[in-house]
Structures are given as structure tokens and as C-alpha cells.
Chains A and B, each alone.
Chain A
């Protein structure tokens, strides 16, 4: 299968910008990606735009054309909605468009604006990524859903809150030099353990913040990249998408993420690599337990082993497998619809050496991976990025 070259990346700072409209944030990220690629709006064949709760947050449906318009084009554009995996799957659609030969230049990205909804409004909006009949009506919030999985994980495989706290500490530490990160704040294990409970056993510092922001990439077909001399040296070489039941109660195990496993297997096969080839990863750590579920689902750790990885130092930036060098969702922030694209952009920038944490990626590392989950991992998107020259 052919590659999709990453020609440019762009993102806004992630943070709290309640007065900024989404179209403006996406314009900033998308235009930066186009500038980075050395291309203009007239070059765009198609736009793939991830967004989750814009209909509630901005009273705005049909956001695809609006996103294209923000970039200075009326090229065909669609909104991809898959909860927190919206832009991971927008990228997958873009990769498929490029690979099929139907498009040469695509912009894939996403945006979310949530802080204007307030904590209660955002909690309400985010809960809608769970099953309305089977979960929301039983008081399940999003932190609660992950808390149910965390408790089930402890029961099935062991581990404790302190193991999870080390994940938060690591990701905050990674974000300290990332000026685009929502939280640039050093924390300790005790800070996490002593922070207010939101859904036991998870506390405030087990959770990512409610963020606003946008991220975008320009992807090119190999022929276009070659013809226009735009080969950046990094390409998406593998893409996978896994699915699962919406409600946790319908799953056999509440302590694993089969959708991640399926997406990863598809992406590894697609790229012709194995988990052993992966040098570093950006994974979906909306809550600390989510990083554990991701690492195990990706086959980078066996079940029950991922929980201690941060505590043992293996996933810190000086460890064998650096995880979430950007700060992850936990510290970089999680504007839901922008997250998947921001992860792929981070992996690309880490491979090309322009990311502020690129010095943590050894020169011999040529493969990075991005993992984006929707809901309680009823959707998962995995992308493999490789240095191509």
C-alpha cells in the first residue's frame, strides 16, 4: 500500500479560550499546516475535519464546509464525528483518500471548543460519548466510565492509584517545555493522590483538562510529493480502526481495550511492522488508566504489565519506550476533536526533530505511533509514522 506523506503540521496552543470561535482556531492550525507545507488553499483537494460537540458548544452543525472556508477554500469537506477519536479517524479517511488516488493534497485535522460550556456543560456534553440508555441514565459521566474500568483493572490485574499517579507526573513533566500545552506545571505523586475526587478511584489529577484548540496536517500522495519536491521525509505508513460495543456492560472484560488491539493489528500489518519496531508513542491518556489500557491494547505491554511502566521509568522520556512526549492529553490538553490530529502531528514533529521533546527520540528511531480512542474505546484509531529517507 502506498504512503501518505506528512507535508506540514499546525496547531493552536491548547488551553482555555472561551471567546474564540472554533472556525478561527481551525483557521490558525490549518493555515499554519499549509504554510509549513509550502502550499496554499488553492492546492487543497479535500478537507477532513474532526469535531465532537460543536453542535452543542457553538450551536453549529454542518461544520465541514465551515472548516474548509476557514482555510480559504470551498473544496469538498466533511466533519468526522467519533467522540474523542474524531480527528484520528479524520486522518484515517484522509489517508485512504490519498492512497486511493482520489486526492493528492488533503488537510486533515480537528477542533473542539469546550471551556465556554463550563464544567457542568462540558461534563454533560462529553458524557454523550457513552450509551444514553444503558449508561448516561445510570449517572455515568466520562470520568465515571474510566473509573469503572480502573477499578475493574485493579481487580483483574492488580496495581493501584499510586501507579496511575506516576503516569500523570510523567506526562506533566514531558509538557514542561511544550509551549502549546494546556498545563505546564510540575506535579508530584502526592499532588495526584491528594487532589479532589471526581469519580473514585480517579481524582482531578488523573484527568485531562477541559481544553479548547485545533490541530491540522497536510497529507500528500507520493506522486504529488515527488513531483513538487515536497517530500518531508516522514509518512503515515500504517492505519487501523477498531470498534467495540458502546456500553461497558456489553463487554466481556472491563479491563482491556479490544478496539485498540484490533486497530493496532491492522496498522502494524498495513505498515509491515511489529510492536518491537516502535520507538515511541503518543497514546490516548484522557485519564491515567487510559494510558495503561492503550499500551496493553497496542501490544507494547502484556495485560497487567502496563500499569507499572511509568513507575518503573520505562515510559519516561529517558526510558526504553517514551510515551506521550508531548505531555499527552493529560498535560498537553484534550480539545476532543483536535486530539487525534495533534497526536499525529506530534509524532511527525518528533521524527523530523522539530518538536521541543525531539531530543528524547534516539537517532536510530525511525518509527513512531499515534493512538486515539473514542468513548470508552468503542472506537480506536492507530497510525504508524515512519522516517522515509
Chain B
């Protein structure tokens, strides 16, 4: 388990797990996933905490057949990037047939553990 070493990121995962997700927004409206001290797009340091919308939408996805050793027992699995309001998250889509995944599909976000390592990972579920 490596999670204990990543304080701010851990806190973010805790919040996602508790359905209390958030992201940061800078004065120019750039949406940023924690941990961040500064906006990489404009250098703004006045980041405001914004509530993450409950549902997101898949913008792209892939089915990984050849994983890293950390995901050996998880493969094949679907990794997707989904937009929640202005923010984008990358996570693993749980309990789906890869052939049924489509861009635009609505998802919710939580945290689950990877099968191989038991490490926590951002996880999407299809919104029903």
C-alpha cells in the first residue's frame, strides 16, 4: 500500500469515497483536481474549492488488455476520462462489458481497491 504517503491525495480519495467530492477552480475558471497549490494554466494561487457534481460524462475510454504488474489481476479493465462539470477525472469503470462503453455515457464516481494490490483507485459506475 502506497496511499499512506500521499496526504493531500488521500484526503481527496476520502472525500470521493464519502460522496463529498470536490475540485479546485482558479479565478480564470480552470478546473483542477487536487492536490494543487497553483493553476498550471495561468499561475493563479487563489484556488476555490468547488463541489464535484454527482454525475459525470465519459469523454474517452480504453480497455486495457496488457497492464502494468500493479493491475495484473484486474485486466482486462476499462479506464476512462470523465467530465464532472468543469473538472475531468481518470478512473476505472467498474462492472461493465467493454463493448457497452460509449463516449457521453453518464457515470458516478467513488473509490474502490485494485484487485492486484489492494491500493485505492478512482472508480466510475454507470449512472442508472
Which A residues are closer than 8 A to B by beta carbons?
Answer: 119-121, 123-124, 127, 133-141, 143-144, 147-149, 151-152, 155, 196-202, 245, 247-250, 254
Closest to B3 in A: A137
Closest to B89 in A: A249
User: Chain A CB within 10 Å — which of B35, B70, B79, B103 has the most?
Assistant: B79
Which residues on the A side are within 8 Å of B69 (C-beta)? 120-121, 124
Complex A-B: 22 CB contacts under 8 Å: A124-B68, A136-B70, A137-B119, A137-B121, A138-B90, A138-B91, A138-B121, A139-B71, A139-B74, A139-B77, A148-B60, A148-B61, A148-B79, A151-B60, A152-B60, A155-B59, A155-B60, A155-B103, A200-B65, A249-B33, A249-B81, A250-B40
Interface of A is mostly: helix
The count of A-to-B residue pairs whose CB atoms sit within 8 angstroms is 100
Checking A139, A200, A250 against B121 with a beta-carbon cut-off of 8 angstroms, the contacting residue is A139
Checking B6, B9, B62, B67 against A200 with a beta-carbon cut-off of 8 angstroms, the contacting residue is B62
A161-B10 Cα distance, complex, nearest whole Å: 38
Is B98 in the interface zone, CB < 8 Å from A? yes
- Tell me if A198 and B65 are in contact (CB < 8 A): yes
Which residues on the B side are within 8 Å of A152 (C-beta)? 59-60
- Tell me if B40 and A144 are in contact (CB < 8 A): no
A143-B79 Cα distance, complex, nearest whole Å: 12
Closest to B9 in A: A133
6 other A-B residue contacts (CB within 8 Å) besides A139-B68, A141-B68, A249-B33: A119-B66, A123-B68, A139-B121, A152-B60, A155-B59, A199-B66
- Known contacts: A137-B121, A249-B89. The answer to whether A149 contacts B60 by CB under 8 A is yes
A136-B70 Cα distance, complex, nearest whole Å: 9
- Tell me if A249 and B88 are in contact (CB < 8 A): yes
Which residues of B (38-88) have their CB < 8 Å from a CB of A? 40-41, 59-72, 74, 77, 79, 81, 88
